Structure 1
Amino acid sequence: MKQPIQALQAWLRRQPPKIKAFLAFVSAIAALVVIRLVVYDHDNLFIAAEAVHALGISVLIFKLATEKTCAGLSLKSQELTAIFLAARLYCSYVMEYDVHTVLDLTTLTTTVWVIYMMRVNLNSSYMLEKDNVSVLYVVIPCALLSLVVHPTTQHYIVNRIIWAFCVYLESVSVLPQLRVMQNTKIVEPFTAHYVFALGVARFLSCAHWILQVWDTSGRLLTALGYGMWPSLVLLSEIVQTFILADFCYYYVQRNRLLNPGIISEFNVLN
């Protein structure tokens, strides 16, 4: 079984980027079709995405608690995560108040704990010089975009703007973490597990939105409002999924070929 798989991996590595992108697109469509056939209630995909995100945070907590180091982690990505989770928790509380509210509260609590550990207990191992993406460069564009493009529902205008802000910020919150990994050129295993969990969570969330639009024959887009907002919701999900897709591919490939330990030289980092 290993020989055909290794031959396929070697063939994929030889393909030009456009062919790889096309194959990734076809694989994503195939995965969506399988999910649509297997998962009856597609709302469960969003719950699964939030659960996988919480699992990724749990991996970080285990790393911080056992190894007593935060080397390789981006504090700024954790802070951006806390910001969009707090915004989403507020919107969930005032607009829905359902199981998503509980999941967001749990994930936000654990994220704040990770931030506290990195800032206070493990600050000496924090790679400040490698974590060089300014939070303002990420937050300000998302805030400005949310003022211009936001839902056109019946909720208060402030709530609609905050809702849009958390959607946009979530789609780019992982960029500082990827930058740290690019700067260090080495990915510590627990950090790799965490980013992979984010990738899986993003794919499930993206699949949730796409399949919901599919099942409603596009009526979901009109339910979200009119103008550019419905399109930007889907675009935000797709953008973050593709940001993490390359990393997830090489994560799976390396974990099949390497022994446990330091994982390095992902193509996404070069």
Structure 2
Amino acid sequence: MNIFRLAGDMTHLFSVLVLLLKIHTIKSCAGISLKTQELYALVFTTRYLDIFTDFISLYNTVMKLIFLGSSFSIVWYIRRHKIVRRSYDKDQDTFRHYFLVIPCLVLAVFINHKFTFKEVMWTFSLYLEAVAILPQLVLLQRTRNIDNLTGQYVFLLGAYRALYILNWIYRHFTEPHYVHWITWIAGVVQTLLYADFFYYYFQSWKNNEKLQLPA
């Protein structure tokens, strides 16, 4: 494992911890899109179908369990926790996320490395992860005022994917025949979706102002 892959994994893990800290400690999910969290739960479920059949390493298995457990925990908190769910802004979080699921599934069926159930589901998870942040970004544009923890959560998610792109570039030049076009294209699309958010995040940091996105 190279430094970019490790940094990407740790950044991804920190993003989840930041979100769980906000929900569990402050008992609030204000500014958090349930639609995005449900999409991430679906992403990890379909990506890690091999968790009990294919052992790669202890590190790999532990990370899979963490992301599976945390994603479903977050969805449970927002949907079922009596205090947390009161802060969920259902009227603003109206992105029809199922419109993302079906095209990604169709694309995975027709464009994949190998036409097997696991491979199609793994490819589907890549396509879906690329666009899963859209409901969250739309919600932030509608609410505009973003608290620090929510801003840090979204920034860390974007940074994780950017670090993975560096990981792929590094592996392409250090590992013979390392080519994964589907993964690369999905990752680049996902990172580009964060471009606008990154701009305003760094502007707020530079000017020491509260993060706001244009309507």
Report the equivalent of 1:213: 172
Report the equivalent of 1:51: 10
1:194 paired with 2:194, answer: no
Cα offsets for 1:130-155 (capped at 9, x unmatched): 11111211111111111001113xxx
Report the equivalent of 1:114: 74
Cα offsets for 1:184-242 (capped at 9, x unmatched): 1221211100000001100111111222223336x112xxxxxxxx3232111111111
Cα offsets for 1:71-106 (capped at 9, x unmatched): 110001111111111222224554453222321211
Q: Which aligned pairs between 1:1-270 and structure 2 lie closer than 5 A?
A: 42=2, 44-91=3-50, 93-98=52-57, 99-121=59-81, 122-152=84-114, 157-216=116-175, 219-221=177-179, 230-258=180-208, 262-264=210-212, 266=213, 269-270=214-215
What is the letter of the counterpart of residue 233 of structure 1?
T
Q: Is the 8 A contact 1:210 1:234 kept in 2?
A: no
Runs of 4+ in structure 1 over 4 Å off: none
Identity %: 30
Higher normalized helix content (fraction of residues): 1
Aligned residues: 212
Report the equivalent of 1:225: none
Q: Is the 8 A contact 1:50 1:104 kept in 2?
A: no
Asked which structure has the greater CA Rg, the reply is 1
What is the letter of the counterpart of residue 143 of structure 1?
L
**What 5-or-longer segments of structure 1 have no aligned partner?**
1-40, 222-229
Task: State the secondary structure of the residue aligned to 2:29.
Answer: coil
Distance (Å, rounded) in 2 between the aligned partners of 1:253 and 1:100? 36
What is the letter of the counterpart of residue 100 of structure 1?
N
**What 5-or-longer segments of structure 2 have no aligned partner?**
none
TM-score (norm 2): 0.90
Q: Is the 8 A contact 1:167 1:233 kept in 2?
A: yes
Q: Is the 8 A contact 2:130 2:189 kept in 1?
A: yes
What is the letter of the counterpart of residue 202 of structure 2?
V
Distance (Å, rounded) in 1 between the aligned partners of 2:130 and 2:50? 17
TM-score (norm 1): 0.73
Residues 93 and 240 (structure 1 numbering): CA distance in 2 closer, same or farther, change over 3 Å?
farther
Which fold has the larger relative contact order, with Cα–Cα distance below 8 Å and residues 6 or more apart in sequence? 2
Distance (Å, rounded) in 1 between the aligned partners of 2:80 and 2:21? 17
Residues 96 and 209 (structure 1 numbering): CA distance in 2 closer, same or farther, change over 3 Å?
farther
Q: Cα offset for 1:54?
A: 1.5
Q: Is the 8 A contact 1:47 1:100 kept in 2?
A: no
CA RMSD of superposed structures (Å): 1.9
